[in-house]
Structure 1
Amino acid sequence: MFNTEDGCFHPIEYPSEQLPKQFTFPFYYQPHSLCVLAADEVKTYLATQQDFEHNFGLDSKDIGLKIGKMFGIMVVENSVGQLGYIAAYSGKLAESNYLKGFVPPIYDTLNKEGFYKQNEGRLNRLTAQIDQLEQNPEIEIVKARLKEAQFQSAQRLSDFKIKAKSKKNKRKQQRLEAEQNLPLAEREVFFEILKQRSIQSNIDLKYLKLHCEADIEKNNKKLAELLQPIESLKVQRKTLSAELQQRIHKSYRFLNAKGETKDLLDIFKRTDIGTPPAAAGECAAPKLFQYAYENDLKPIAMAEFYWGISPTKEVRVHGQFYPSCRGRCEPILGHMMQGLDVEPNPIESAGIFKGELEIIYEDDFLLILNKPHEFLSVPGKTIKDSVLTRMQTYLPNATGPLLLHRLDMSTSGLLLVAKNERTHKKLQKQFINRTIKKRYVALLDGVIEIKEGLVNLPLRVDLNNRPRQLVCNEHGKSAITKYQVIDVKNNQTRIYFYPISGRTHQLRVHAAHHKGLNLPIVGDDLYGTVSNRLHLHAEMLSFEHPVTRECVSFSCEADF
């Protein structure tokens, strides 16, 4: 069992002949039974422990901020061949980096004697100085004077120009009347007088501008004098923060199975983002690898699970296993797993379909096909075979983009293909106007009490864990789904989805998120648990035929 008194290595009994042959591929896996056994011990400890206080949001009696946590376990073998496991948590737990029974951090940002805490104190003092200077009431007074000077300047210049234009029009009229009524000699004298008035008007405008600018500049100068110490402190703070961040990144040094070491800067400089994201190296998985390598423990398998209340944005279910995050952990673990015999990445072999695509309907203008599950709609980074490439071969004389819409790789069902550009534009307009009707059928892992309704949760991509999506009211795009329960059998709900919008993973997130239906689709490897397939199928498609103008409808039953 998980024992906090015996250090970080927790012995576990298991027949050696059933050990996995390769180490877990951490970004897509089904947890080995060893990992499940070890995780159950940690879960039991978390549910009953009294060693620390942290509000996971599972007990209404607990006080304080409710925060769920990712935990990781790694099954290892020590130097004398004894099997056991080590455990870790992401970030801090109970405001601590060190809790008995769990592996330590790679770098302890909470060490009061360390450079991070000492420099954090300097940063906090600078921030306090800045805040104090910004509270100076004279700043607001001068800002108000500057704003008033700018307003008065604009008003005076506007009034002057209106009057000047009126006088200019009057001089123009006087010039016309003089040409008709005055003798030549008097006319030339009068024209000179009008000219001098025009020149004087321009001079008056110039001096008015100078006077207004001087008034504004006086207030700008005063404001700059008040803000200069603040800006100076902000530059100091920014410089210190950048230096501190650089030093921290160099302090996170990661081993691999070959005994090689790289810091965060080395690891991320070859990635697309170039610099380490926030909290890189604080996840559970890197901590587990680091402790194993530093203590001569051979990694056998690993898994990570979530413990606590569901977060606001992500789909996270209490007690469920999840893959390691890609944005922060993929580059780090890519280095740390070098030298290990790791399971092949199943994603690289996904999307292979050797059969023929089933065409449901075809005429001279369009066709409808039944896309198989685990097959791409369009080519990916590594896999080129897709519905689009197959259609380009099948329709070599077609013009236009062909596909009108897409389905997730794991989703099966109806896809609409246009054979020419004109047809594509007409159908695309129907998609834009949302007059094309789509119906999906899905199988949910659980029972829904409400038989029909709407889910309205805005979505955006999880930048640290693509292609997962987040619910985000601030930056998300509107996503609305109508649903209707069909029946319930074996604790699973068969349901119709009618997407009103078409966001990436919309139906999957709306089903799984705790503010949605709170039930993942069966087989959803991103937001639920792995099964033989994702039980989501685009079953029906209705639209106006772009040529015949008939309302047509096509359906294709799911194979689940």
Structure 2
Amino acid sequence: MFNFGYSFFHPLENTFGIPLPETFTFPFYYEPHPLSVLAAKQLQTYLETQTDFIHNFGLNPDQTGLVIGKMFGVMVVKTAKEQLGYLAAFSGKLADSNDVKGFVPTVYNTLNEAGFYKKGETKLNSINTEIERLENAPDYLKAKADVENSNIAFVEALSILKAEVKAAKQHRNQQRESAKLNMSAEAYSEFIETLNKQSIGYQLRLKHLKQEGETQINKLETVLSGFNETIQTLKTQRATLSASLQQRIHQQYQFLNAEGDTKDLLDIFKDTTSPIPPAGSGECAAPKLFQYAYENHLKPVCMAEFWWGASPKSEVRKHQQFYPSCRSKCEPILGHMMQGLLVDANPIESQIVFNQELEIVYEDAHLLLVNKPHEFLSVPGKSINESVLSRMKAYLPNATGPLLLHRLDMSTSGLLLVAKSNRVYKNLQKQFIERSVKKRYVALLDGILPNTKGIINLPLRVDLDNRPQQLVCDTHGKPATTTYEVISTENGQTRVYFYPITGRTHQLRVHAAHSEGLKTPIVGDDLYGTKANRLHLHAERITFTHPITKELLTVGCEVPF
């Protein structure tokens, strides 16, 4: 029977015949090495049967408490005596604790009651409690209400008097016109003087009302400002203490690398686009695994991370599936920690080689449609220039305008529309904006759908911690709508037509995989599903109005899977 044990080093069982990898796992894009898979299965066996802690992963419908799925990591390591085993870690906290039997410790334990952070947190909570008490104190609430009511009363009184002044002025004007016709010059002069005195009287009343109102409001605001100054002083203390605590925490997170060098979070992030480390930096599974391995003279061999539990509402996470390390927090940290290790090449930065000519599916004097291969960029990337756009610039040296009307994900194949002139581009761009261009995709989904057709509405935004992946977000997401239609089922998979109404990044991939979408990822989706020989998603057909001939043009392209 599998025994997780109290040790952090867990012997790896049944490794006979599995060769060691020559290089360590590139953690941001990888296929798990068989040793990592073996270690993950042993850890998952423990998670399925353990009674050491209570945490609601959302797998047991009868369990109470907040559902929190969790990312776990395993690192296969070798001891100085060449014994093979693995380390286990979890991201964040598990069962509201950093210290769980069998899992490597955190780099810095913020939950230590005797540590400076918990003491500082206690002081922060005390300040927050005092601020809340002051902001809800009857005297303070009365002072706020008095200022607000006094302002309202003053504005109302001023409005009434101004209306009276305006009406009196109109009446004096009428009197002035009548007197001009009916009075002698001497009497008219005396009458005008009387009217002028009335006008001055009204102006004085306005002046006095303003003075009295401002004096009253100033008195009340002085009382209120006394309360606000006390509250603001506490808020300043809170901000200063919070910033000081955050800086000390960043300094406490000291990360080793294979060369024995140490850097804290501030050093690691200082030259990045976000020099202030994101919240939770260093609390993911991977940094914990590296740190424990280095501190205990264990040699990292390979690693993998997997999700355990129900998927969060915003993300696409599948129980027991392997995922790469996050980029915003882990990429700078692991970039430091892997120095001195021989690591797999970053496949994302590898130059894409496509030696064949791009297939032109349709072409006339004004536009063309090209069949983009899968794993080929639509436009140049940060480090890769080879793309459909670069090929089209070479193919159409005399063309004007931006050429490409739209893009496809690198992993998606299919039709891309190219305009040969700026005039044609603007016309087609207008059709895209007005959503009169109709596109049809073919996808193969990894499962059987319960319905033969439907519509998916899930707003999307970029995952700031893990670009370019997308999140479902009702608050900040952009509307994203897809209709779908089942074509056939084959070998436990479903072939569908996708009709995107909007064109968000990764829209079809997320809508297919998300728990509130089809719950069935596209075959070969290495971001939201399981990697295969390719992403089985193809832009198969497009319909638009030809900018010059005004004919409705439909062009199709054979599905390669």
> Which TM-score tier does this pair reach, normalised by the shorter chain?
over 0.9
Q: Which moved more, 1:38-47 or 1:370-379?
A: 370-379
Normalised to the residue count of structure 1, the TM-score between the two structures is 0.95
Say if 1:177 and 1:424 are closer, same or farther in 2 by CA, change over 3 A: farther
Which amino acid is 2:90 matched to? Y
Hey, what's the Cα distance between the residues in 2 that align with 1:3 and 1:111? Answer: 28
* Contact 2:256/2:291 (8 A) holds in 1: yes
Matches for 1:116-515 after TM superposition, within 5 Å? 116-175=117-176, 190-349=191-350, 351-515=352-516
| Identity, % of aligned positions | 61
Hey, what's the Cα distance between the residues in 2 that align with 1:202 and 1:396? Answer: 76
Classify the secondary structure of the residue corresponding to 1:262.
strand
Matches for 1:79-94 after TM superposition, within 5 Å? 79-94=80-95
**1:440-492: CA deviation from partner (whole Å, max 9, x where unpaired):** 00011111121111111111111111111111112111111101111111111
Matched, 1:7 2:7: yes
* Contact 2:349/2:384 (8 A) holds in 1: yes
User: Could you tell me which residue of structure 1 aligns to residue 75 of structure 2?
Assistant: 74
* Contact 2:372/2:416 (8 A) holds in 1: yes
Hey, what's the Cα distance between the residues in 1 that align with 2:302 and 2:208? Answer: 81
Classify the secondary structure of the residue corresponding to 1:75.
strand
Matched, 1:533 2:534: yes
User: Could you tell me which residue of structure 2 aligns to residue 30 of structure 1?
Assistant: 31
Hey, what's the Cα distance between the residues in 2 that align with 1:4 and 1:541? Answer: 55
Hey, what's the Cα distance between the residues in 2 that align with 1:60 and 1:6? Answer: 29
Classify the secondary structure of the residue corresponding to 1:474.
coil
Q: CA deviation at 1:37?
A: 0.6
Q: Which moved more, 1:118-127 or 1:162-171?
A: 162-171
Hey, what's the Cα distance between the residues in 2 that align with 1:37 and 1:345? Answer: 24
Q: CA deviation at 1:297?
A: 0.6
Equivalenced residue count is: 560
Matches for 1:95-106 after TM superposition, within 5 Å? 95-106=96-107
Hey, what's the Cα distance between the residues in 2 that align with 1:158 and 1:400? Answer: 59
Q: Which runs of 5+ in 2 are unaligned?
A: none
* Contact 1:3/1:101 (8 A) holds in 2: no
Q: CA deviation at 1:282?
A: 0.3
* Contact 1:24/1:342 (8 A) holds in 2: yes
Say if 1:350 and 1:526 are closer, same or farther in 2 by CA, change over 3 A: farther
Q: CA deviation at 1:165?
A: 2.5
* Contact 2:134/2:140 (8 A) holds in 1: no
Instruction: Quote the RMSD (CA, aligned, Å).
Output: 2.0
User: Could you tell me which residue of structure 1 aligns to residue 525 of structure 2?
Assistant: 524
* Contact 2:306/2:323 (8 A) holds in 1: yes
* Contact 2:439/2:541 (8 A) holds in 1: yes
Hey, what's the Cα distance between the residues in 2 that align with 1:491 and 1:186? Answer: 107
Q: Which runs of 5+ in 1 are unaligned?
A: none
Which amino acid is 2:323 matched to? Y
Which amino acid is 1:515 matched to? E
* Contact 1:414/1:556 (8 A) holds in 2: yes
* Contact 2:18/2:35 (8 A) holds in 1: no
Q: CA deviation at 1:280?
A: 0.5
* Contact 2:5/2:102 (8 A) holds in 1: yes
Which amino acid is 2:476 matched to? H
Q: CA deviation at 1:160?
A: 2.2
Normalised to the residue count of structure 2, the TM-score between the two structures is 0.95
Hey, what's the Cα distance between the residues in 2 that align with 1:209 and 1:379? Answer: 66
Q: CA deviation at 1:186?
A: 5.5
Hey, what's the Cα distance between the residues in 2 that align with 1:287 and 1:227? Answer: 44
Q: CA deviation at 1:381?
A: 1.5
**1:355-384: CA deviation from partner (whole Å, max 9, x where unpaired):** 222111122222111111112222222222
* Contact 1:350/1:374 (8 A) holds in 2: no
* Contact 1:351/1:409 (8 A) holds in 2: no
Say if 1:184 and 1:352 are closer, same or farther in 2 by CA, change over 3 A: farther
User: Could you tell me which residue of structure 2 aligns to residue 550 of structure 1?
Assistant: 551
User: Could you tell me which residue of structure 2 aligns to residue 109 of structure 1?
Assistant: 110
Hey, what's the Cα distance between the residues in 2 that align with 1:402 and 1:172? Answer: 70
Hey, what's the Cα distance between the residues in 2 that align with 1:2 and 1:281? Answer: 30
Say if 1:422 and 1:174 are closer, same or farther in 2 by CA, change over 3 A: farther
Q: CA deviation at 1:181?
A: 6.1
Hey, what's the Cα distance between the residues in 2 that align with 1:6 and 1:147? Answer: 63
Q: CA deviation at 1:220?
A: 2.1
Classify the secondary structure of the residue corresponding to 1:275.
coil
Classify the secondary structure of the residue corresponding to 1:557.
coil
* Contact 1:90/1:282 (8 A) holds in 2: yes
* Contact 1:35/1:73 (8 A) holds in 2: yes
**1:280-309: CA deviation from partner (whole Å, max 9, x where unpaired):** 100000000000100001111110001111
* Contact 1:2/1:10 (8 A) holds in 2: no
Classify the secondary structure of the residue corresponding to 2:114.
coil
Q: CA deviation at 1:176?
A: 5.1
Q: Which moved more, 1:183-192 or 1:157-166?
A: 183-192
* Contact 2:441/2:537 (8 A) holds in 1: yes
Q: CA deviation at 1:147?
A: 2.4
Q: Which moved more, 1:453-462 or 1:143-152?
A: 143-152
Hey, what's the Cα distance between the residues in 2 that align with 1:351 and 1:234? Answer: 54
Q: CA deviation at 1:197?
A: 4.1
Classify the secondary structure of the residue corresponding to 1:326.
coil
